[in-house]
Structure 1
Amino acid sequence: TGELNEWMQAATSIPGQHLGRWLTTASFAANYFLGGLDPFGFKLANLIIHLINGILVFAVLCSLFRLIQPNSPTRSQPTLIAAAIACFWLVLPINLTPVLYSVQRYESLSLVAILLGLVWYCRIRMRVMQDQASVWRLGIPLLLLGAIGVTAKESALLLPVYAACLELSLWRSLDKSRRRHLLTLYGAILLAPALVATFWLWSWLGPETGSLRELSTFDRLITEGRVLVLYAQWTLVPNPSALSLYHDDFVASNGMLSPVSTLFSAIAILVAIAIAWRTREKQPTVSIGLLWFFCGHAMTATIVPLELVFEHRNYFSSIGLLLCVLPISIEALQRRLSTRAAAAVLVSIFVGYAAMTALRSFEWSDPIRHSTSEVIRKPESARARLEHARTLLIAAAGNPSTHLFEAAVENLTACMPLRRSGIACEAMLIMETGRVSKDLVASAWASLQRKLRERPPNDSDSSNLFSLLSCTAMPDCHADPENLGVALDLAADHPRPIAPFSFVMGEYAGLVRHDPSEARVWLYRSLEQDPKLHAARIRLIQLLAARGEMAEAAEQIQRLRETDRFGTYAEEIASIMGTSVSAGQVP
């Protein structure tokens, strides 16, 4: 309806484990308000943001070249080189997903703030060099645009780090007094957050808690070394068979020699860092470009237990690689070739990038074509097969006699034994084929229960278990409550279950086993683990009110109200209150 509280509810609907992201979520709400769920509007908005970022890349590089011009190989034509880098960046195949994958607007919108901050920083830095501004003013764009960028995505926190990379090449442009002021400024901006982040990340260190992806901290770090080398390759020399939305089939390293490319990648990274240090004054574009590439992955390729590989993480880092390679390449071409020949080489490379991006875009233009190409490209990816099966099932419209339905079942069956497949494929097979093949369903239940016996459930598993629980209440769904109960009990045997799983256990205990005491225990446990799990609190309030435990229900309602700043759950609270009043009990 466009009311302010509804906009605020939409903006703050992002899960609590994410820091902010309200601006991007509000932009999704705006897309929905203007055009519903039509994907065209979402992708058009992403394209506009991408083009704005291209303009800002040009502006950043122009400002940067003016700063480093006395020592830069680009002093004769900085504007043309800045334009070339911006144009190349706009059509890089690796930058496709921030445009066509709607959810990656988080990344592209945060980059708007980062680039604006760098433009502003470079302009103030020029005035500092000309004795027209104080060093302390450099903190304004870093703090202001960094704070704004965080409302799009946490990656904007790296803005001060990117600016610090510039200072390695600009250090000698300041006298001793200003250098001390600059060190103090960066100490205040970077040191305190770094200490807080180190304290928070300390709990992730070590083989037991070092990763939610079943990797020790060391193995994760050396694996990410291989990933960084692949990112550089995919950016500068893209291979259509390697670029994909899904990389869950990537095999982690197990020591420096398993595989041996782990060692080679580590050596390559150390050499690149050494080059960045040695070239910081004589070839600042090389130094800054390399540092931007590595710093762009500081959050996602270190010890934070995130997914190992995602192409969109190169959205900023790819600027660094182009800045490192393109200026010196243009200079080399100009020394060896005529102006026209050098231009022809650059145009040919640009056309090659653009053509590959256009081919990827064509794949994405049709859901079945896209999901099929992803499975062909990544046959060992459980996510690719799961998404292909989901797409085929939608196209089959539930008709089991179609070849689309059969192909979907084949993909789900092939998905189940894949490494890191979770239980999503089993859950979909149970829900979609229950009325078609009892043998398939039996094998799916067996596989699902085996996986939950061998390892504790994660967030994805909990979500799929909740889908199966919801399915049991539907007349046209053939998910067996008894098999689900066995699966849940197996998962519950693992120590320290996560909050979403505890919530599912509470729901199952209340809805299927009709055991409110057990449901209450699990719901309280889920809220102890995650007090912001509002669905669990609402269910607990309903349970307490139904049992006449009005004092506890009132306490839980108060806690819900304290965290429900924009009235997201006002209707649920009013409904509970109304039910209690009609029963003569007021919480």
Structure 2
Amino acid sequence: MMQRRPWLFPLLLFVAVCAIYAPGLLGGFTFDDFPNIAENAALKLDSLDGAQWRAAAFSSDAGSLQRPISMLSFAVNSYFAGMDPVSMKATNIVIHGINAVLVFWLVRLLFALAAPGVDERRRLWAAMFVAAAWALHPINTMGVLYIVQRMESLAHTFVFAGLAFYLIGRQKQLADGSGRWWIAAGLFGCTALGILCKESAVLLPLYAWLLEACIPALRNSPQKGDVRKLYMAVLWLPLVAGLFWLYPRVTAPHAFSTRDFNLEERLLTEGRVVLDYLRWTLLPPLRELTLHHDDYVVSRGWMSPPSTLFAMIGLAVLFVAAWLVRARRPLTALGILWFFAAQALTATVIPLELVYEHRNYFASLGLMLVLADLLLFAPRGNMAHIGVFVAALAGVGYAGITHLRAWEWSNDLKFAAVEATKRPESPRAVYGYGRMLVIASHYKADSPLVPVAVDQLERGMKLPKSGILPHSALLLLAAHTHLPQKDAWWDDMAARLRAGPIGPQEINAVGSIMRCARSRECDFSQPHMIQMFEGALARPHPDMQTLYADYALNVLHEYDLALGLFEGVVRMRPNESQYRINLAKVQISMGRRDAAVKEIATLREMGRFGENEAAALELEGRLGLSPGAPAHSSTR
């Protein structure tokens, strides 16, 4: 039936994806969704004005290219449905469903080249297994229901399409020598578009090269000389250049200043992390699959913990074995090597956080290929029936666990409680549960949830890797409910700010306190606030200094102090548009017209695609300049 109706399985797969993930539609924004989407003013569009849309496209500070395609997709959601998490999650599910269909197409092309001796019907069923198992796998839940990770799934829309185009081109080359345009579209066009969603897509040429290295029909093709030249240009030379660019950045003294590990410790830890990714993908344990993994133990040496050494040995053996079996089991080799290749950006030297499940969005496809090869292609005789049974059991199990995870994501309070139960030593999970209890209490002092929230947040304060988020939540709760603000909370927060690195959590915590004080909703004493900011500025950070400047301007009314702080921020990050916008606003409010005009001119020059034009026009409106007026002060 499937061969007569080729559209039927893709349609059923798409429907299955929507059904399995449907419960997760009801959940709200979480964690990084807030700074990137919900609190991103540039995404709140009210017209089709080009300047607004350009500003939205380049409103992310993630990645050197700012991921404009992903940000535009969020802007489209916001324009038509507002900041509605349901519409954004629905879009994510649709993207994942499209990716599932692309994976099915890609795997069918791959099996035709890699397993020509297997009958077509068997190849079709194996491709259906891979696509369904990948699409419904629980390790990809975060790539779907964690809204901001649309960046990951959308980037891989182009990765999957690019690899499919590449295989079509190579098939045509093997048949009649044509196909170069397909190859170019896959390697160049799709890589470029994918990178504009997220940098993960930069690995597409590496995945394509592994196709050449593992699939005999490609490895021994008449075009292998041209292929070597192609990959010298698109993979190896860029790789060498990238390493030269990256080396001084990851070895600089400040490279890991916002982390509690250094470069060596990161590399040692990632060996264990990658082995856990492997385990979570093949045998996913619902108890261990969570949003937060900040309680993951850092490896401080080869035997600290001892599993570090064993993990490295295990990964090395697996990698060598995969390379050695390329001739006999090309699909198994390719799947394992794809799994390793997918970790090249996030599990090596770049100072990212250690563990996130969404980093396996492509890696999990590699392992599904391995299962298809070992369960559906390799067995013979009665063993073939056992292989089919195990594959079916795995697929149903994956779908069931994913559906359970979708239910976990269906309610914010339930999600927070589940995360805290699964990760009792995770500061983020414990804080997240305390925060949701605070929200559920509606800041009513007589709510039975208030003492539970206080206990949860105070427990979070005491966890070894805890930051200051619990402190901020406690202080905000106390201020809104008119309960006592303990000096110990303020003192411990200032001490942690002074001693530890300043990262997104610290910025978020201090920002929440500052905004509540600025709005006069919270009665925080000025000595406590200044103590907090002085602790934070022991380690200069532009965002933290911006918050202090905001407080100095709007609460302390110390205008010269605020101006000096804003100027210092611009000196720290001269290429960040928002910092110049902040400075220009203060200059305008203080009557420093000439300085403001210069900042506006610089702001325009920084906008590569006119994305700063809307902000520049708004600032000129504050100055009383008409559009197109000369960029100099008329008061000289």
1:74 to partner: Cα distance: 7.7
Q: Which residue of the partner structure matches residue 423 of structure 2?
A: 378
Q: Which residue of the partner structure matches residue 231 of structure 1?
A: 277
Q: 1:355 to 1:435 in 2, by over 3 A?
A: closer
Q: Share of identical aligned residues, percent?
A: 32
CA contact (8 A) 2:563 2:583 kept: yes
Equivalent in 165, 172, 178 of residue 223 of structure 2: 178
1:82 & 1:176 partners in 2: Cα distance? Answer: 24
Q: Which residue of the partner structure matches residue 334 of structure 2?
A: 288
1:551 & 1:455 partners in 2: Cα distance? Answer: 39
Equivalent in 241, 247, 267 of residue 221 of structure 1: 267
CA contact (8 A) 1:416 1:426 kept: yes
CA contact (8 A) 2:570 2:580 kept: yes
What amino acid maps onto 2:499 in structure 1? E
1:571 to partner: Cα distance: 5.5
1:23 to partner: Cα distance: 1.5
Q: How does 1:64-463 map to 2 (within 5 A)?
A: 64-70=110-116, 77-133=122-178, 138-170=183-215, 173=218, 178-206=223-251, 208-211=253-256, 212-331=258-377, 334-337=380-383, 339=385, 342-434=387-479, 436=481, 439-463=484-508
CA contact (8 A) 1:219 1:255 kept: yes
1:177 & 1:350 partners in 2: Cα distance? Answer: 39
Q: Which residue of the partner structure matches residue 474 of structure 1?
A: 519
2:537 & 2:387 partners in 1: Cα distance? Answer: 65
Q: 1:278 to 1:551 in 2, by over 3 A?
A: same
What amino acid maps onto 1:525 in structure 2? G
The count of residues paired between Structure 1 and Structure 2 equals 581
What amino acid maps onto 2:416 in structure 1? S
Moved more, 389-398 or 565-574: 565-574
CA contact (8 A) 1:121 1:141 kept: yes
CA contact (8 A) 1:378 1:384 kept: yes
Q: Which residue of the partner structure matches residue 46 of structure 1?
A: 92
Q: 1:23 to 1:437 in 2, by over 3 A?
A: same
SS of residue paired to 2:253: coil
What amino acid maps onto 2:177 in structure 1? Q
1:559 & 1:289 partners in 2: Cα distance? Answer: 49
CA contact (8 A) 2:211 2:218 kept: no
SS of residue paired to 2:323: helix
What amino acid maps onto 1:500 in structure 2? D
1:338 & 1:546 partners in 2: Cα distance? Answer: 77
Equivalent in 101, 104, 114 of residue 55 of structure 1: 101
CA contact (8 A) 2:218 2:224 kept: no
What amino acid maps onto 2:357 in structure 1? E
What amino acid maps onto 1:557 in structure 2? I
Superposition TM-score, scaled by structure 1 size? 0.92
CA contact (8 A) 2:194 2:202 kept: yes
Equivalent in 519, 525, 531 of residue 568 of structure 2: 525
Q: Which residue of the partner structure matches residue 559 of structure 1?
A: 602
CA contact (8 A) 1:448 1:487 kept: yes
CA contact (8 A) 2:216 2:330 kept: no
CA contact (8 A) 1:427 1:465 kept: yes
CA contact (8 A) 1:127 1:133 kept: yes
Q: Which residue of the partner structure matches residue 530 of structure 2?
A: 485
Say yes or no: does 1:26 pair with 2:69: no
Q: 1:235 to 1:36 in 2, by over 3 A?
A: same
Moved more, 544-553 or 403-412: 544-553
Unaligned runs of 5+ in 1: none
1:311 to partner: Cα distance: 0.6
CA contact (8 A) 1:280 1:288 kept: yes
What amino acid maps onto 1:441 in structure 2? K
1:447 to partner: Cα distance: 1.4
What amino acid maps onto 1:155 in structure 2? S
1:28 & 1:547 partners in 2: Cα distance? Answer: 36
Moved more, 220-229 or 534-543: 534-543
1:471 to partner: Cα distance: 1.7
Q: 1:33 to 1:553 in 2, by over 3 A?
A: closer
1:50 to partner: Cα distance: 1.1
SS of residue paired to 1:258: coil
Q: 1:361 to 1:533 in 2, by over 3 A?
A: same
1:367 & 1:217 partners in 2: Cα distance? Answer: 35
Moved more, 460-469 or 111-120: 460-469
Which whole-Å deviations, capped at 9, do the CAs of 1:197-251 have from their partners, x for residues lacking one? 2233223434834523132211101101100000011111011110001111111
Equivalent in 620, 626, 629 of residue 574 of structure 1: 620
Moved more, 552-561 or 428-437: 428-437
Q: 1:226 to 1:335 in 2, by over 3 A?
A: farther
SS of residue paired to 2:223: helix
Greater relative contact order (Cα < 8 A, sep 6+):
2
Q: Which residue of the partner structure matches residue 537 of structure 1?
A: 580
Moved more, 2-11 or 76-85: 2-11
Unaligned runs of 5+ in 2: 1-45
2:501 & 2:443 partners in 1: Cα distance? Answer: 32
Equivalent in 536, 540, 543 of residue 500 of structure 1: 543
Q: 1:45 to 1:286 in 2, by over 3 A?
A: same
What value does the CA root-mean-square deviation take over the aligned residues? 2.6
Moved more, 473-482 or 358-367: 473-482
2:583 & 2:481 partners in 1: Cα distance? Answer: 37
What amino acid maps onto 2:277 in structure 1? Y
1:102 to partner: Cα distance: 1.4
1:170 to partner: Cα distance: 3.8
CA contact (8 A) 2:139 2:289 kept: yes
Superposition TM-score, scaled by structure 2 size? 0.85
